[in-house]
Amino acid sequence: MKQLSKFPNEELLRAEGPFVTIYQSVELSPPNAEAEQLKFKNQVKNAQTQVKNECVGPTCEGLLNQLDQVPNDKRFWSVNKGSVAFFFTPSETYYYRLQTQLKDLIEFGERPTILPIIEEFQYIENYYLLCLSNREFKLYRGILDRVEAVDLPEDAPTTLEIALGDEITRGKQLNTGGPSGVIHGVNEKSDELDIDQENYYRAVDKYVFENYSRPQQLPLVLFALPENQAVFRNLTKNNFLRENKIETSSTQLNENEIQKEVNKLINQLLTERHSEIIQRYEETTPQYKLGDQYQDLTSASLEGRIELLFIEKDAEIKGSIDENGQLGYEGNENFLNQLALNVLATGGKVYVLDRAQMPGLKDVAAILRY
């Protein structure tokens, strides 16, 4: 079973079906892992019944095996609240831990049901938060507006003293030869501080990039005073560092206060990015926009012509796209889910919005590539 943290995820989208999709909301107040275990056990049992009744072909046994083997222990369900999304295939099981509470759901079909989770990932990626002063750092893992401290190993350059050791220049004597012999003095204090800070930031930059940013391929957000932001950004080689930043000191802040600062940034980003895409739609000429012309949307999605797709939250249009690219209205599949998968498969972006936020107040809309 593989836990995923980014969406869209290429491995999931390329996986071969059939799929069982299970969403389970988690509300543990107070924590009651046993109740969640029992609920999930029943969800899995219902999914197995669905597969036995509806699945045809050699892949069915593999799918049932994945459902049989899924872990269901107290530790897995000992989380505060949110949801867990499971995607079962005949050969693998994928899951996401989500902050938002989604409706419980069980679906069997040729494709994963991905519309409910898009909203959580559409504006904000998971990320790392680097809290940096001139002599120490802490690292946090960000999941939307929630951050969790990363447990760093003992050899991590968490302080200037650990990182530089004997290479610290502060207070080191200068030996200068001259006609009258050797002159002893000390470095100018400001120069010493500048040299040590830059050397320390290079060590931090290298460590975070090699151990976290590059392996996880996640953005990095810097939490530091403006003057420290300037020094770090001037020397960083971490191409995952983003322009988004928190310009204050984290040194005297506790976990809750750091969380509040992160919330301010995330709320600002959500507002800005939503406004940007709506403005983009409004400024796009009519020939490069589509509304609820479902067959035109189908053709455009298969041809890779949709750059941005907007879908109303909880909207459902019963139907599916056949092998000839024609939309039929038979069956129980949600056409909008298949449409979203087509767009993601061709490098497009999908947004799930409340009705009041939808462009033109339609249930679906799209911006086409030029």
CATH of the domain at 289: 3.30.1330.30
List, in order, residues 6 or more apart from 365 with CB less than 8 Å away.
Answer: 281, 289, 290, 291, 292, 309, 310, 358, 359
Residue 138 and residue 36 share a domain: no
Return the closest-CA partner of residue 341 out of 47, 109, 180.
Answer: 109
For the CA atoms of 198, 203, 206, 208, what is the dihedral angle to 10 degrees?
-110
Of 83, 104, 121, the domain-final residue:
121
- Extract the tokens encoding 39: 């609920």
Range of the domain at 65: 1-121
Please answer whether residues 116 and 167 qualify as being in contact, where contact means their C-beta atoms are separated by less than 8 angstroms.
no
Other Cβ atoms less than 10 A from the Cβ of 190: the count is: 8
Q: Using the 8-state DSSP alphabet, how is residue 23 labeled? A: E
Say what the pLDDT of residue 183 is: 40
Task: Please report, for residues 51, 64, 152, 281, 300, the alpha-carbon distance to residue 110 in angstroms, rounded to integers and kept in the order given.
Answer: 12, 15, 42, 32, 21
- Asked if residue 315 and residue 354 are part of one domain, the reply reads yes
Question: pTM of the predicted model, to two decimals?
Answer: 0.80
pLDDT at 340: 98
In this predicted structure, what is the pLDDT of residue 182?
42
Please give the Cα distance from 45 to 87 (Å, whole number).
Answer: 15
pLDDT digits (tens, 9 = 90+) for 322-367: 989 999 998 889 999 999 999 999 999 999 999 999 988 889 999 9
User: Do 308 and 357 fall into the same domain?
Assistant: yes
Tokens 């988690």 label which residue? Answer: 26
Q: How far apart are CA 116 and CA 102, in angstroms?
A: 7
Question: Are 41 and 176 in the same domain?
Answer: no
pLDDT at 125: 80
Contact present, 353 and 333 (Cβ < 8 Å): no
Per-residue pLDDT of the chain (370 residues), as tens digits, is 999 988 999 999 999 999 999 999 987 665 578 888 999 999 999 999 999 999 999 999 999 999 999 988 888 887 667 899 999 999 999 999 998 889 999 999 999 999 999 998 999 888 999 999 999 999 999 987 789 999 999 999 999 999 998 777 754 443 333 444 444 444 455 555 688 999 999 999 999 999 999 999 899 999 999 999 999 999 999 999 999 999 999 999 999 999 999 999 999 999 999 999 999 999 999 999 999 899 999 999 999 999 999 999 999 999 999 989 999 998 889 999 999 999 999 999 999 999 999 988 889 999 999 8
Angle (CA) 242-247-249 rounded to 5° is 120
